[in-house]
């Protein structure tokens, strides 16, 4: 027995037509959508400040207006975390929509993740939002009660996929291997088309990337699954695309969740046919005793300006602009960051390729200091600075920015409640068994390859990568496709080597985690993103391109590896 669970959203702002595409594209039992991210919670928090009745993902309601009748006709149950900071409000809005459309729909929601009113007593500070990552059993209880639409607040991304399996198969709290298998499947499809070719290093190998289809997880009663997509949709489901998503935003072998600790190093992938990849072998352990809390705080105000430096004497021009701005900004703002991007080329055939970009970012508690004062200082240099002075955009006002900080509370702290379609409120007990796990040592590595001639080439000649953000940290997953490539990669790509290849991380803590079953290495870089994506501390604030930068760096690759076909 299997259930088919599709996904129609990987973030707040994803393809608006995806819900209809998934409902019309083929058979499904459940359709899920992930709308929440660290930055999204900040956006919803600011929405709630303006109007307490909001705080949920408005686009989800727009999608339902078009698709609720279709979902009812096809008997597809919808589960989503689009409730954000106001799942009860979204549930009421769906009921109103159902009545307006004349579509009889039973709606339930899950609440209890919002800890904002208790932040002080829980020593979580004074955040704008504070939400614990709840698990899947509250959603499952709603499904058991016959809900056709279930919306939640901040549950883990995979929980909206795990819950249907719990409900359909009757899994218990201690069915750890089964729960872990569903968590892995949920992790793969939670980010939508990233599992079907989106953001994939070897995208040129995919015949049609015009509009990749959204993924489907066919989950079996034993917790194993097959990742696929609707026939006729673009993109592809391969071991490579699934590996890419497996490596996204993880750390080590243990993937901690509120219901189970999934051993990511136990997972095996098998290509069963075109666009069908089986995930098997997942091992689960009891969950940790604490829940992660997503905390967003208002960090102050920020502004930025990018100066264009053209032609000769780039470094000297940058030094002049810096010194003039620093002299004008007195007293200085709390933070001032400079980045010089040497995008210029010698003897360039166009002005754009002869130019470098000098970016300055300022932050302060005083909006005026990084607003009018900062903009005026930049503009006043127009006729008084380096030759060829101009900027990429006109001056702008200061804007508020957020700071993400994780917190932790005991599993027993949130009042996890399933609000059933008839209004009954059911308390969801925390897991009775939890564990504290210590990191495993590095597994046994394959023997290094015998010495042979090498070629100087980009790492990405043979290796794929996927990178992303977790608060102020970033992860870079790197993997290969053959045993010979794996033997080389494990010994070539050490922490020290990554620091050499990526000088921006040289002074930061970096850890390496090994996943032999999928021939992958994962590197976690602490602190590279400052205080999270909302603080915009880096050129690439979510580290989305960090893996591709690593792939572009040149290394010495053994000829037998560099010239292999690398077929999966």
Q: How confident is the model at residue 564 (pLDDT cuts 50, 70, 90)?
A: confident
The per-residue pLDDT for 141 is 98
The per-residue pLDDT for 444 is 85
Residues 20-70 pLDDT 10s: 999 999 999 999 999 998 889 988 998 898 999 899 999 999 999 999 999
Query: Stretch 555-561: mean pLDDT, rounded?
Result: 96
Evaluate if residue 568 carries a pLDDT over 70. Answer: no
Distance of CA 292 to the CA centre of its chain: 16
> Helix (H, G, I), strand (E, B), or coil: what is residue 327?
helix
Evaluate if residue 537 carries a pLDDT over 80. Answer: no
Evaluate if residue 182 carries a pLDDT over 90. Answer: yes
Query: Stretch 245-255: mean pLDDT, rounded?
Result: 94
Taking the C-alpha atoms of residue 169 and residue 330, their distance in angstroms, rounded to an integer, is: 65
Taking the C-alpha atoms of residue 512 and residue 469, their distance in angstroms, rounded to an integer, is: 16
Residues 396-425 pLDDT 10s: 999 988 888 899 999 999 999 999 999 999
Q: How confident is the model at residue 567 (pLDDT cuts 50, 70, 90)?
A: very low
Residue ranges per structural domain of the chain: 2-289+411-427, 298-403, 454-562
Six-digit token string for 266: 């136990």
The per-residue pLDDT for 439 is 67
Evaluate if residue 440 carries a pLDDT over 80. Answer: no
Q: 18-27, 343-352, 523-532: lowest mean pLDDT where?
A: 523-532
Taking the C-alpha atoms of residue 80 and residue 107, their distance in angstroms, rounded to an integer, is: 12
Buried b (16+ CB within 10 A) or exposed e, 513-552: bbbeebbbbbbbbeebbbbbbbbbbbebbbbeebbbbbbe
The per-residue pLDDT for 565 is 62
Query: Stretch 260-275: mean pLDDT, rounded?
Result: 97
Q: Count, in order, helices (H) and strands (E) of the chain.
A: 14, 26
CA triplet 425, 428, 433: central angle to 5 degrees? 170
Q: How confident is the model at residue 533 (pLDDT cuts 50, 70, 90)?
A: confident
Do residues 233 and 197 make contact, with C-beta atoms less than 8 angstroms apart?
A: no
Helix (H) or strand (E) holding 71: helix 58-73
Evaluate if residue 101 carries a pLDDT over 50. Answer: yes
Residues 6+ apart with CB under 8 A from 102: none
Taking the C-alpha atoms of residue 91 and residue 147, their distance in angstroms, rounded to an integer, is: 11
CATH number of 298-403: 3.30.70
**Residue keyed to tokens 């999204």:** 40
Taking the C-alpha atoms of residue 319 and residue 500, their distance in angstroms, rounded to an integer, is: 26
Q: Is-above-0.75 flag for pTM? A: yes
The per-residue pLDDT for 566 is 58
Helix (H) or strand (E) holding 79: strand 77-80
Helix (H) or strand (E) holding 286: none
Residues 473-493 pLDDT 10s: 999 999 999 999 999 999 999
Q: How confident is the model at residue 521 (pLDDT cuts 50, 70, 90)?
A: very high
Evaluate if residue 496 carries a pLDDT over 90. Answer: yes
Evaluate if residue 539 carries a pLDDT over 80. Answer: yes
**Residue keyed to tokens 């015009």:** 210
Beta bridge partners of residue 283, listed in sequence order:
263
Taking the C-alpha atoms of residue 316 and residue 238, their distance in angstroms, rounded to an integer, is: 50
Residues 336-347 pLDDT 10s: 999 999 999 999
Average pLDDT value over all residues in the chain: 95
């Amino acid at each position: 027995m299997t259930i088919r669970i599709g996904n129609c959203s990987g973030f707040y702002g994803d393809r608006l037509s995806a819900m209809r595409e998934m409902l019309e594209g083929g058979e499904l039992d459940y359709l899920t959508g992930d709308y929440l991210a660290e930055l999204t919670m900040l956006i919803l928090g600011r929405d709630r400040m303006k109007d307490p009745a909001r705080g949920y993902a408005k686009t989800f309601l727009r999608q339902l207006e078009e698709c609720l009748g279709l979902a009812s006709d096809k008997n597809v149950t919808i589960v989503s975390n689009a409730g954000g900071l106001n799942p009860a409000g979204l549930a009421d809005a769906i009921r109103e929509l159902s009545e307006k459309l004349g579509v009889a729909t039973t709606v339930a929601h899950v609440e209890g993740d919002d800890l904002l009113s208790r932040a002080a007593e829980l020593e979580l500070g004074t955040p704008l939002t504070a939400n614990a990552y709840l698990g899947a059993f509250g959603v499952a209880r709603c499904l058991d009660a016959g809900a056709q639409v279930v919306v939640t607040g901040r549950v883990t991304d995979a929980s909206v996929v795990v819950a249907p399996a719990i409900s359909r198969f009757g899994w218990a709290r201690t069915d750890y291997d089964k729960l872990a298998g569903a968590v892995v499947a949920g992790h793969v499809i939670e980010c939508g088309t990233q599992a079907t070719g989106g953001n994939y290093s070897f995208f040129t190998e995919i015949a049609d990337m015009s509009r990749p289809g959204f993924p489907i997880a066919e989950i079996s009663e034993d917790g194993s699954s097959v990742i696929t997509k609707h026939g006729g949709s673009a993109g592809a489901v391969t071991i490579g695309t699934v590996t890419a998503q497996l490596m996204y935003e993880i750390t080590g072998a243990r993937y901690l969740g509120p219901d189970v600790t999934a051993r990511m190093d136990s997972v095996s992938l098998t290509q069963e046919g075109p666009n069908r990849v089986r995930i098997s072998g997942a091992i689960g352990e009891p969950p940790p005793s604490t829940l992660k809390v997503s905390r967003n705080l208002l960090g102050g105000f920020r502004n930025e300006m990018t100066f264009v430096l053209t032609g000769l004497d780039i470094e000297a021009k940058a030094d002049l602009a810096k010194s003039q701005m620093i002299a004008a900004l007195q007293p200085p703002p709390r933070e001032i960051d400079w980045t010089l991007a040497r995008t210029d080329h010698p003897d360039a055939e166009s002005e754009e390729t002869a130019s470098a970009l000098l970016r300055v970012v300022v932050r302060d508690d005083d909006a005026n200091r990084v607003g009018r004062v900062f903009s005026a200082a930049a503009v006043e240099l127009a006729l008084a600075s380096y030759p060829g002075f101009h900027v990429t955009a006109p001056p702008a006002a200061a804007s508020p920015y957020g700071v993400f900080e994780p917190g932790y509370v005991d599993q027993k702290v949130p009042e996890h409640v399933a609000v059933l379609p008839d209004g009954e409120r059911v308390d969801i007990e925390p897991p009775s068994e939890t564990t504290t796990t210590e990191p495993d040592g590095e597994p046994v590595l394959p023997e290094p390859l015998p010495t042979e001639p090498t070629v100087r080439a980009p790492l990405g000649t043979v290796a794929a990568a996927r990178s992303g953000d977790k608060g102020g940290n970033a992860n870079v997953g790197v993997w290969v496709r053959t045993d010979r490539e794996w033997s080389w990669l494990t010994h070539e790509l050490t922490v020290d080597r990554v620091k050499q290849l990526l000088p921006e991380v040289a002074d930061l803590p970096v850890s390496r985690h090994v996943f032999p079953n999928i021939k992958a290495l994962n590197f976690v870089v602490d602190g590279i993103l400052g205080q999270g994506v909302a603080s915009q501390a880096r050129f690439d604030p979510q580290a989305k391109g960090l893996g591709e930068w690593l792939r572009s760096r040149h290394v010495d690759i053994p000829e037998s590896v560099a010239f292999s076909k690398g077929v999966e």
